[in-house]
Chains A and B, each alone.
Chain A
Amino acid sequence: MNPIALEGLTVRYGQRLALDQVSLAVPEGAVYALLGRNGAGKSSLVRCLLGEQKATSGRALLLGRDAWKERARALVEVGVVPEDPNAPPAMTARQLSRFCSRLYPQWDAAGVAARLARFGIPGDTPFGKLSKGQKGQVSMALALASSPRLLVLDDPTLGLDAVARKALFEELIGDLADRGTTVFITTHDLAGVERIADRVGILREGRLVLDEEMETLKHRFRRVSFPRSREAAVARLEALAPVAMASRGWEVEAVVSNYDEERLPAADGPEVTALTLEEIFIALTGTVGTTGTAQAVEEDR
C-alpha cells in the first residue's frame, strides 16, 4: 500500500481549474517532492491530501484511507508541517506539545523538547511571538513527535532564511535516516529538496506534467550546446525532445528531455552538461510549450 495515492484528483473553483485529473502514488519510504510555480495547484493538492478540502472529482488516499471521509483516523499516523504555521498564538511550544500529546497514541515529548533545544527555541514563549523560522521549526518538532509513518510538508521553507532552511532539512534528513519515514514535500527550495528527494512531481496549471524518479530525471535532462554551423546536429536535436532552445552568438543551446548519447555523435561536437533540479524545473515550467512537457510525462510513464 502506498502511503499516498491520488486518483484523478480534480479541483475546480468556479470556472477555474486548480487541479486537473492528477494521479500519483508515493511509495513507502520515499521522499516525494512536488514542485510547481505559484498558483500551480500545490496548496489545493495538499489540502485535498490532508482532507481539508473536498475534491471536485477523484480522490486522495492517505495511508490507504479516503482523506476526505476518514481524515481524522488517517492523520493519527501523519505529521504535518503547514505552509503557514498556524498554531494558536497564545500557546507556547510546551503547551502545544502537551495539547498534541492528547491526540496521538504515542508522543515523544522529550523529543520535542530536545529538538526545540537544538533549534534554540524557548519552550515558554508564545507561538505568536516566535519568528517565522522558529514557528516552522516548532511545527517540524511537533510533526515528528508522533513518530509518523508519513510526513507532509507544505512549503516548509517559505520565508525562512538560509540558516533556518538548512536546519529544517537537516532535521528532516536525520529523521529519515533514523526511521525511514515517507515524506511528501512541496517547496520552492529546489536546491534543498534536491538533496533528499528521490522522486519528483511537477505541477503546471493544475496538471501533473512530470512524475519521475529523481535519478532518471537528472539523467534524462541535459544541456546541449554546439556551434550553429552544424545544421545536421541541430536537426538531430529533435530526436532528444528539446524543451528549451536558444541561440547564443555562434552557438545553439538546448535543454533536452530525452538525452541519448548515441543519438548525438561526437562528430557534431556537442558540449553536454548535467542540470540541477532547479534548471530542469525552469526549463519545464518557465518558457517551454505544453507539448514537450506532456511528452516528457508520457514517455516517463
Chain B
Amino acid sequence: MRGFAAVLGREIHERRLLAVVALALGLMPLTLPLMPGLLPGGFSIQDLRSGLAFGLAMLLTGLLALFLGGSIIAADLAERRLGFYFARPLSGAAIWAGKTAAALLLVAGSGVIVLLPSVLLGIDANPFDVQAMGKSWTDVVAIWGLALLGLLLAAHAASLIVRSRSPWILLDLAALGVVAGLCWTTWRRLILAGVGAAPVYWGWHYWADPRQWMTDAIFLVALPALALAGALQVIKGRTDLRRGHRVLSLSLWGTLLAAAVLLTGFSIWGISGGPSDLRRIWQATGAPRGSWVAVVGPSARMPGYQPGFLYDLSSGRFFGAGFGAISNGFDPEVRFSADGRRAVWLAYEGAPYRSPVVVFRLDLDRPGAAPVRTQISYQGDPRTLALSADGRRIAVFHGYSTQELTVEEVDTGRLLAAVHPDLVDPRLIFADPDHLRVYSGSFGDDPQPAGEKAPDIFEIDLTSTAPKLEPTGHLPRLRGFPGLALSPAGDRALLRSPDGLGLIDARTGEVLAPIGDRRSSALFLADGRIAALGRIAGGRELRVLAPDGRSELRRFAFPGARDVVVADQPAPGLLRVVVSLAGAPSQDWEVRLLDLASGGSRPLGTRKLLHPVAVLFAGQSGLSRARSPRLSLEQAGGVVWFDVLAFQERVVLKNS
C-alpha cells in the first residue's frame, strides 16, 4: 500500500500542471461568450456557457484518458524509465495500480476542474438535461467514468502493442479480427433470429435489443480483461517491453477470445431450443383439426428472445417458424387452413424491421415436410392477415405510411388484389375463398360518441376482373374491443362486446337478433344453429337457437351450475358439455350428453379437468373462425391438450 501511494503521489505530482490547463479551459465558458460574434443564433449566453463547460469537460477527459492511457506506463517502458521503479522495493502490482489510479484521478480531476468555475457561478452544466433522458447524474457519472476507464486501459494496451514493434502485433491483429468476427456473427445471428425484436421482460429488465446487452456484456468482459492484461503486463513483463507485450496479448486475447467463444456458444444454444424451452407461453393457436399448434413465448434460454414454433402435440415434432419476432401481442402471425393441413405465417426475411416480411407455408400432413418460403413478401410491416379456409389465399394489410391491402395465392405468389384503403384498425376474414371481408373502425373502452363514424364493413370480390374494396355496411356502435365470430357459411357473425352478445349479418352489419347480455357466450354449431350460454337464477342455461337467432329450438337448464362449457358436437344432433357445480371442487366437471332433438340430458360421469377453456368457444374474443377444440392456454400451467373424445387433458407444454 505504501508503494502504491508513493507511485500514485509521484505520478500526480509530475503532471500537476494539468490542473492549470483544466482551470484555463474551465474559465473559457465564462469568457468566450462575451466575445462579439461568437454567440450562435437562438442560443442564450447561459446555454452557450453551459454547453461549453460540459463539452470541454467531456473533450478534455476523453483526450486525457487516451493520452495518459497511452503514455503513463507504455512510454516509460519504451523509454526505459520504468526500471527506476523496478530497481526499488515496489511490486509490479503497486506500480501498475499506482500509475493507473493516478491517470484516472488526473482525468477525473481535470473534468471536475473544468466544470468547477461554471458550477460555482451557478451556471447549469447540464445542457442535455440528463434527467429528461431517463438517467440520473449518478448513472451519467458512472457510465462516463467506466467509459473513461475503458478508454484509458484500451489506449494503454494499444500503445504498448505499437511501441513494442514486435511480430506479436500480427497475432494481436489476427486475434482482434477473430474476436470482432465472432461478436459480429453472434450479433447478426441474434438479430436474424429476431432476438430483441419483440418486447420481452426478463426479471426487472426490459431487453429491447441484443445490441444493447451484447454491448453491455462485451464491455463488462473487456474492461476487466483490459485491466487484468495491463496489470499482468507490468507484473510479469516488468521492464521488458516485448515480454510485457506477449503477456498482455496472451492475457487480453485469451480472455476476450474465451468470452467471444462463450458468447457465440451461448447465442447458438440460446436460439436453438424448442417449445419446451419457452419460459412462458404467451400465445397459442391450434389448428382447427389435427394436433398442430402455434406457440409463442419468451425463451428460458435467451433474454429478449421470443421465438415462435409450430408444434405437433402428438408427435413432438416442431419447427422454429420465426413468427415470434413479428407477433403482435395478441395472436401469433400464423394461420391454419380449416382442415388443419396447412399453416401459413409471416416472418422477417432478415433483420426485423429492416428486411422484408415473407410468407412461409408448411403442409402439416406431409411426412418430412419442411417450411417453404413462398414468393410473397411485403416491404412494410404487416398489421393483420387472414388465410382462406382452403389455405390457398392470404390477405395481408401492411405498411404504416403507404397502407396496402393485398391478396395473393400462397402456392404461386400470384397477386389477386391490391388496394390502398384508408382503414382504421382493420380486421380481415375470408367469407369464402373468393370474398375477403374487412371490418374497420376504432374501438375503445368508452362508448363511441354520437356522430362518430361506426365501424365499416368492406368486401373484396376476388372473382371480379378488377377487385376493389367495396363498402357493404357498418357494424353496430359498440363499446370496447368486439369479439366477432363468423358462421360456418360466413354470412352471419356473433358479435360480443361489453354491451352484450348479438347476431349480425356479417356482410352488412345489420343486427339480426340479440342473443344475450355481456356475460353470455355463444357459438355456431356445425349446421349453423347457435348454442347460447347464459345465466339463470341459481344456475346456468344453454339455449339452442335457429340460424336466424330468433327462434329458440331447445333449452337446457343446469340448476346449481357454476359454469357450463360446450365441449364438442360428436354428432349433428348431439352436444357434449361439461358442467361445474357450485359447492363442488373447481376441478370436478360433470360431463353431460345433450340430445338436441329430444331435449334429453344424460350424465356421462365426472372428470377432473384443469381448465376446459374458453378457446373452445369460437368468437370469445378477436376475429376468428373455428379454432382447435383441443387446445387451451392456461396461464398457470401452459398449453393443455384437451382430448374431447377421451375427455381427458394433459399439460403438453409447461410454463417454466
Contacts and interface: CB of A to CB of B under 8 A. Distances in A.
A90 B11 CA distance: 11
B89 A76 contact: yes
A170 B5 CA distance: 35
Nearest to B5: A102
A104 interface: yes
A88 B86 CA distance: 13
A52 B81 contact: no
Nearest to A89: B81
Interface of A: 47, 50-54, 71-76, 80, 82, 84, 86-88, 90-91, 95, 99-100, 102-104
Contacts of B2: 102-103
Nearest to B2: A102
B91 to A, nearest CB: 4
Contact of A52 (B3, B91, B238): B238
Given A72-B89, A82-B84, A100-B88, 4 more contacts: A52-B240, A72-B91, A75-B89, A86-B87
A90 B12 CA distance: 12
Contacts of A52: 83, 86, 238-240
5 contacts: A53-B243, A54-B236, A75-B87, A99-B6, A100-B88
Interface residues of B, number: 24
A74 B3 CA distance: 14
Contacts of A82: 83-84, 87
B10 interface: yes
B60 interface: no
Contacts of B3: 72, 103
Contacts of A87: 81, 84
Contact of A103 (B80, B88, B239): B88
B238 A51 contact: yes
B168 to A, nearest CB: 12
Given A52-B86, A86-B81, A99 B10 contact: yes
B445 interface: no
B71 to A, nearest CB: 13
A91 B14 contact: yes
B81 A102 contact: no
Given A80-B87, A82-B87, A53 B239 contact: yes
Contacts of B91: 71-72
A82 B83 CA distance: 8
B90 interface: yes
Most buried by B among A54, A75, A76, A86: A86
A64 to B, nearest CB: 15
A90 B6 CA distance: 16
Contacts, number: 65
B89 A50 contact: no
Contacts of A47: 239-240
A107 to B, nearest CB: 12
B89 A104 contact: yes
Interface in B476-522: none
A220 B236 CA distance: 44
Most buried by B among A51, A73, A76, A88: A88
B96 to A, nearest CB: 13
Contact of B87 (A50, A54, A104): A50
Interface in B204-256: 236, 238-240, 243
A88 B14 contact: yes
A163 B647 CA distance: 111
Given A52-B240, A53-B238, A88-B14, A103 B89 contact: yes
B6 A88 contact: no
B73 to A, nearest CB: 13
Nearest to B82: A86
A86 B80 contact: yes
Most buried by A among B13, B80, B87, B238: B87
A186 to B, nearest CB: 15
Question: What 6 pairs across the A-B complex have the smallest Cβ distances?
Answer: A80-B87, A75-B89, A72-B91, A76-B89, A102-B6, A52-B239
Most buried by B among A50, A90, A103: A103
A204 B84 CA distance: 28
B84 A86 contact: yes
Contacts of B13: 95
A138 B5 CA distance: 23
A156 to B, nearest CB: 13
A290 B239 CA distance: 33
Contacts of A90: 14
A89 to B, nearest CB: 8
A82 B80 CA distance: 11
A82 B86 CA distance: 11
B571 to A, nearest CB: 90
Given A53-B239, A102-B6, A103-B6, A84 B80 contact: yes
Nearest to B14: A90
Contacts of A76: 89
Given A75-B88, A91-B14, A86 B83 contact: yes
A76 B3 CA distance: 12
Interface string B19-34: 0000000000000000
B511 to A, nearest CB: 92
B292 to A, nearest CB: 66
B89 A73 contact: yes
A103 B90 contact: yes
B84 A88 contact: yes
Contacts of B86: 50-52, 71
Contacts of B89: 72-76, 103-104
Contacts of A103: 2-3, 6, 88-90
Contacts of B88: 75, 100, 103
B250 to A, nearest CB: 14
A11 B623 CA distance: 82
Most buried by A among B82, B239, B243: B239
Contacts of A86: 80-84, 87
Contacts of A91: 10, 14
Contacts of A71: 86, 91
A75 B238 CA distance: 15
A53 B13 CA distance: 29
Nearest to B88: A103
Contacts of B83: 52, 82, 84, 86
Nearest to B80: A86
A90 B94 CA distance: 21
A269 B616 CA distance: 130
Nearest to B87: A80
A53 B6 contact: no
Contacts of B82: 86
A202 B82 CA distance: 28
Nearest to B95: A72
Interface string B69-108: 0000000000011111011111100100000000000000
A80 B83 CA distance: 10
Nearest to A101: B6
A87 B86 CA distance: 11
B393 to A, nearest CB: 74
Interface in B556-595: none
B520 to A, nearest CB: 85
A176 B276 CA distance: 82
B15 to A, nearest CB: 9
A95 B13 CA distance: 10
Contacts of B94: 72
